[in-house]
Structure 1
Amino acid sequence: MRSGSLIRAAVAATAATGLLAGPLVGPAAAAVRTGHAAEASVAVIVRHDGTGGAEAAVARVGGTVGQHLDLVGAFTATIPAGALAAVSAAPGVRAVTLDGAVRLQGEEWNADKDQHSMYSLTQSIGAQDVWSATDASGAKLTGQGVGVAVIDSGIAPVAGLDTPGKVVNGPDLSFESQTPALRNLDTFGHGTHMAGIIAGRDSGVAAGKEADKKRFVGVAPDAHLVNMKVAAADGAVDVSQVIAAVDWVVTHKDDPGLNIRVLNLSFGTDSTQDPRLDPLSYAVEAAWKKGIVVVVSVGNDGLQESRVGMPAQNPNVLAVGAADPLTTADRSDDVVADFSTGGSATRHADLVAPGKSVVSLRVPNAFIDAAYPQARIPEDPDQRYFRGSGTSQAAAVVSGAAALLLQQRPGLTPDQVKKLLTGTADAMPAGDTLAQGAGQLDIAAAVKAPTPAVAAQGYLPATGLGSLEASRGTSHVADPDTGTELTGEVDIMGQAWTPAGWAQVCTTGTAWNGDTWNGRTWSGRTWSGSNWAGRTWSGRTWSGAVWDGRTWSGRTWSGRTWSGRTWSGQAWSASVWG
């Protein structure tokens, strides 16, 4: 799809979904390559300020105005190619974007020349070698049949994630769940980036041809993704929503068509609570003990930080740090990325995986796309891709690798998967000794290694009897009108938190009873084949619920009641976009 077509698709989708969360792509003048001949005219999309100056600018250069896109304050136009800069700089013009009908000539981006592309990444970790191997049935090892739950900001149906059956929507537990046009969609942009890394696959990629440098292919391209949306457009989410999502995954892991064997949680709070007490830590440990490989990011607080994020503090789960390939294909000079949390001798990353400037799928006009236009790939003619750095991305790489192993050997326990991945990791001579853990992921070696005889890891079991408020750390959602934060021992529905009662049902995998969690109705119970449908949350208004001594009344639940005004956004472990 050409860049303008992508924008038109986004605008069309917006009319139906309300997905647009920011400005269109930035000025196209930067994309014009000096010294290359241009065609007589180009099709563009012009974003304007409503004063009429943009239309006048198009007329001055001899162009014509086409369709008005009032939803996003823009219109299509055809202008002389040489007038791009003039129109971009004209009063009343906010941005000019090349449309897809005509494109200036120039050198296209080649994935094999970019050490941060998914082509280079899957080659580096050995995934491309694994794809040619087979499982016991003779099927190629591409993650077929393995479900990976992605607890994040949603997954957008962009190219690479739009084939039937690729994404199965679980219940939307985010603040946007009451807006049908936004339900399950990724208005933030983080979840789609992770989903692409784990299991993206362009529809034109033929079986056996996954190592195509001109197509987008994730680590486990035939795994399916279970979309557990918890974060809204600004990334804001309460820890109770994340815990509820983990519990839902455990309760429904064996539902028809799901087969959830991996849970990706590129999220962490700065909770200082003992991981044996912390509720979020307890939830992921319970998932692990129920047979789900839980992959979490250690955080992006830097190599000097001695405390990894929660729930990476839990010693059972697979905690992942980020490696930096330093733009070379040779792994011998790779280092641990300077933003990756170093940890301590007691708890640090179990292993690392590529996490620097990783190129994955972009959600046009989502929050991070609007906020960080520099993260787009200027050389990419279709403007599909976006760069992100963080232990989020590294965790997603490992989740894809785990899916490959579990297709090869479905009987592996989470402890065996962890042992295989850490036991075959490559040491990084140039990398920080502590922060790299066992070393850098080598999935080809893991697939060839014999199944280890691993007993349970032997850590003292968690109890989950700690504080929900302490589990939040310093990240709180707040009322956008007053700035008042949600605090205390209550969940996002205002329901009292009773650790002992919750811990018991969490352990047995029965925390969800139909559409009820922690005593309140949260999600629909109807399975429609690709979505959990029906009502979300328990009521349309807040009436008299008291949180931390403050009373809320008559507020319609429309995705606006809570915001991330005081929420740092650092809990989603992507450090840099660009």
Structure 2
Amino acid sequence: MPSRYRSALGVASAAIAAIVAGAVVPGGPAVAATSPPVNTGGRTRVIVEADDPIAAALAVTRVGGTVGRALAVVNGFVAEVPTSQLSVLQYAPGVRSVTEDGSVAMEAASWRADGDANSMFSVVRATGALDVWKKLDSSGRNIAGTGVGVALIDSGVAPVTGLNDTTRIINGPDLSFESQSPTLRYADTFGHGTHMAGLIAGRDPNTNLLTVSDPTNFTGMAPNATLVSVKVAAADGATDVSQVIAGIDWVVAHRNDPGLNIRVINLSFGTDSNQDEKLDPLSHAVESAWKKGITVVVSGGNDGTTRAKLSNPAVNPYVIAVGAADSKATESRADDVVADFSSRGNATRSVDLTAPGKSIVGLRDPGSYVDVNYPTGLVPGDTSGRYFRGSGSSQAAAITSGAVALLLQQRPALTPDQVKKLLTSTADFLPLAEKLGSGAGELNIRNAVNAPTPTAAAATQTWAASTGTGTLEASRGTAHVADPVSGVELTGEKDIMGKAWNGTTWAKAASGGTAWTGGTWNGATWTGTGMKAGLLPGLLTMQSWSGATWSGTNWDGRTWSGRTWSGATWDGRTWSGRTWSGNTWSGRTWSGSYWSSSIWD
């Protein structure tokens, strides 16, 4: 059998090197090196061609290697692996070939965060967060989100630099299809969650928040906040509304667990449901969380002017619905407008405010779906290889969630209604932006922190209460998950476990915060039971939230298994009749519409 490992004697090939270099820095010349393969400290840099990029990336991690820049031209990526493990990697699942790489010199200007109006280095200044960090709360601590928990209901969080502080970044339950695979559980195989997490609470090690002047240091909006990852989405963003609702209910049930203090939910997600928001279960779930004292921040959607309605559950009038602002690549807000893709809503319900959401530079998740399939998201000239650029109301919501954490550290007694009133009453007016779609203006957390606390009478919202007794199927809108073996879609009034859905019974439990009982939700066991004491004094570590094996059957009558729902086999599914593949991942796609990030570039 011929080996799949090849030595290129200095470079994979001059042709591939030139193509890849051109792809990374469009229009920039590249020179293929003639030096020997890069081998330092017993580690070798290689090009990994993949049959399954996600499985190949996980294989690199398992042998002690690190995944680098994606190479779409060869359906693979650059990696650095222990030289002794090369023979192991070449036969790993998902790997087509492993080729020693050589150095390629790029003749292009290096990217600098302080020269990019859409970097977080610039965003924390434009929103006033940098000034807020220098202020003190009533306990004499700098206001950076300390002690405030933000639940990120998304695709998981990768422990990349800036998100590898295990005292602040905590895995809650994995409620995704991948939870049954030990190698995929908690991993962000999609890449969306990691990007959002960085914007909310990222912080490079040893960063001094009082003197953030080094543009190579990455910081999110609330760099001292606790971020609790609740994973609901698999490798291509696949999730069902029942999983998202279960995630919201879990946060409500565990908001006061030791070490969590969850006061904020970030939901950069929405469906195109047309169901009345007072009946819709997803809308009721976020409203129930709001009324339990959790400020819920939701992306408004990425339908632009093509649909005269916000995404569900941003349509719920209680929560904070956020639209995306376009900075026009300048630091001044005088020219900011509503991003063309940001949903406008209608005269009855539009977004409450906007936040930066166009071409935002966040943390990259090497080897994830978006990383491998969207090389245009890589930042040209970024010599660190750490960053990825994306646009959407997802990013705007995440930036706002971080701002809410700052406000709640300063004033822990604020109700969600008061938080919303403070943000909307202090937003910056955008003179060039259309009113519909811009809401109260653009987020200014400096103004909010300096403003007096609104009275209960001035802040309290009095919208008609939702009932949540509508249908689960209508809540899904046009998107359905499907069994990758049979192609049968999950439809009707049942959750991913195949359990019957009774809206009246669930809604009553959700309103009372009792939808979860131990690890059971809607009559089936989904997760483990909680937290346990850590090894270090004062720290906590998670038990296996998802340790229970799903014993139910799926909606097509077959038994769930880790193999069935692995990242390698969960592909090619259909959403509303559309087949998912790399070349159709655009426009109204799961990442484009439902996860509210329309552009990964």
1:566 aligns with 2:574: yes
1:289 aligns with 2:294: no
Matches of 1:394 and 1:47 in 2, distance apart? Answer: 34
CA contact 1:297–1:395 (8 Å) conserved in 2:
yes
The AA in structure 1 aligned to 2:501 is: W
Q: 1:530 to 1:212 in 2, by over 3 A?
A: farther
Q: Kindly report which structure 2 residues correspond to 1:479-494, keeping only aligned pairs within 5 A, or say none.
A: 479-494=483-498
Q: 1:494 to 1:536 in 2, by over 3 A?
A: farther
Partner residue of 2:48? 47
Partner residue of 1:478? 482
Partner residue of 2:600? 577
Q: 1:513 to 1:564 in 2, by over 3 A?
A: farther
SS in 2 for 1:171: strand
Q: Kindly report which structure 2 residues correspond to 1:190-205, keeping only aligned pairs within 5 A, or say none.
A: 190-205=192-207
Matches of 2:35 and 2:101 in 1, distance apart? Answer: 10
Matches of 1:270 and 1:293 in 2, distance apart? Answer: 23
Task: Give the deviation of 1:481 after TM superposition.
Answer: 2.0
Partner residue of 1:530? 541
Task: Give the deviation of 1:173 after TM superposition.
Answer: 0.2
Matches of 1:49 and 1:179 in 2, distance apart? Answer: 20
TM-score, normalized by length of structure 2? 0.81
Deviations 1:189-225 (A, max 9, x none): 0000000000000013124233532211000101010
SS in 1 for 2:178: coil
Deviations 1:69-110 (A, max 9, x none): 42344546364x5xx5xxxxxxxxxxxxxxxxxx76864321
Task: Give the deviation of 1:25 after TM superposition.
Answer: 13
Q: 1:515 to 1:104 in 2, by over 3 A?
A: same
Matches of 1:257 and 1:251 in 2, distance apart? Answer: 14
Q: 1:463 to 1:48 in 2, by over 3 A?
A: closer
Structure 2 unaligned spans of 5+: 1-16, 39-44, 52-81, 533-539, 576-588
SS in 2 for 1:244: helix
Task: Give the deviation of 1:35 after TM superposition.
Answer: 8.8
Aligned residues: 514
Q: Kindly report which structure 2 residues correspond to 1:205-216, keeping only aligned pairs within 5 A, or say none.
A: 205-216=207-218
Structure 1 unaligned spans of 5+: 1-23, 51-64, 85-102
Partner residue of 2:409? 407
The AA in structure 2 aligned to 1:152 is: D
Q: Kindly report which structure 2 residues correspond to 1:364-443, keeping only aligned pairs within 5 A, or say none.
A: 364-443=366-445
Q: 1:457 to 1:25 in 2, by over 3 A?
A: farther
Match of 1:343 among 339, 342, 345: 345
The AA in structure 1 aligned to 2:48 is: R
How big is the alpha-carbon RMSD for the aligned residues of Structure 1 and Structure 2? 2.4
Partner residue of 2:512? 508
Q: 1:520 to 1:146 in 2, by over 3 A?
A: same
CA contact 1:235–1:564 (8 Å) conserved in 2:
no
CA contact 1:38–1:104 (8 Å) conserved in 2:
no
Partner residue of 1:121? 123
Matches of 1:341 and 1:571 in 2, distance apart? Answer: 12
Matches of 1:236 and 1:25 in 2, distance apart? Answer: 35
CA contact 1:278–1:464 (8 Å) conserved in 2:
yes
Matches of 1:290 and 1:39 in 2, distance apart? Answer: 63
Matches of 2:18 and 2:256 in 1, distance apart? Answer: 41
Q: 1:243 to 1:376 in 2, by over 3 A?
A: same
Task: Give the deviation of 1:36 after TM superposition.
Answer: 9.0
Deviations 1:388-426 (A, max 9, x none): 100000000100000000000000000000000000001
Q: 1:441 to 1:113 in 2, by over 3 A?
A: same
SS in 1 for 2:379: coil
Matches of 2:172 and 2:295 in 1, distance apart? Answer: 18
Q: 1:298 to 1:30 in 2, by over 3 A?
A: closer
CA contact 2:29–2:108 (8 Å) conserved in 1:
no
Task: Give the deviation of 1:164 after TM superposition.
Answer: 2.6
Task: Give the deviation of 1:527 after TM superposition.
Answer: 1.4
Partner residue of 1:251? 253
Task: Give the deviation of 1:167 after TM superposition.
Answer: 1.0
Q: 1:459 to 1:382 in 2, by over 3 A?
A: same
Task: Give the deviation of 1:483 after TM superposition.
Answer: 1.5
Q: 1:150 to 1:49 in 2, by over 3 A?
A: closer
Partner residue of 1:58? none
Q: 1:235 to 1:564 in 2, by over 3 A?
A: farther
SS in 2 for 1:176: helix
CA contact 1:192–1:363 (8 Å) conserved in 2:
yes
Q: 1:419 to 1:26 in 2, by over 3 A?
A: farther
225-234 or 530-539: bigger deviation: 530-539
The AA in structure 1 aligned to 2:47 is: V
Q: Kindly report which structure 2 residues correspond to 1:270-289, keeping only aligned pairs within 5 A, or say none.
A: 270-289=272-291
Matches of 2:333 and 2:546 in 1, distance apart? Answer: 50
Matches of 1:414 and 1:564 in 2, distance apart? Answer: 41
Identity of aligned residues (%): 54
TM-score, normalized by length of structure 1? 0.84
The AA in structure 1 aligned to 2:287 is: E
Match of 2:20 among 27, 32, 41: 27
CA contact 1:132–1:141 (8 Å) conserved in 2:
yes
429-438 or 527-536: bigger deviation: 527-536
Matches of 2:527 and 2:116 in 1, distance apart? Answer: 42
CA contact 1:321–1:336 (8 Å) conserved in 2:
yes
Task: Give the deviation of 1:48 after TM superposition.
Answer: 4.6
The AA in structure 1 aligned to 2:518 is: G
Q: 1:78 to 1:489 in 2, by over 3 A?
A: closer
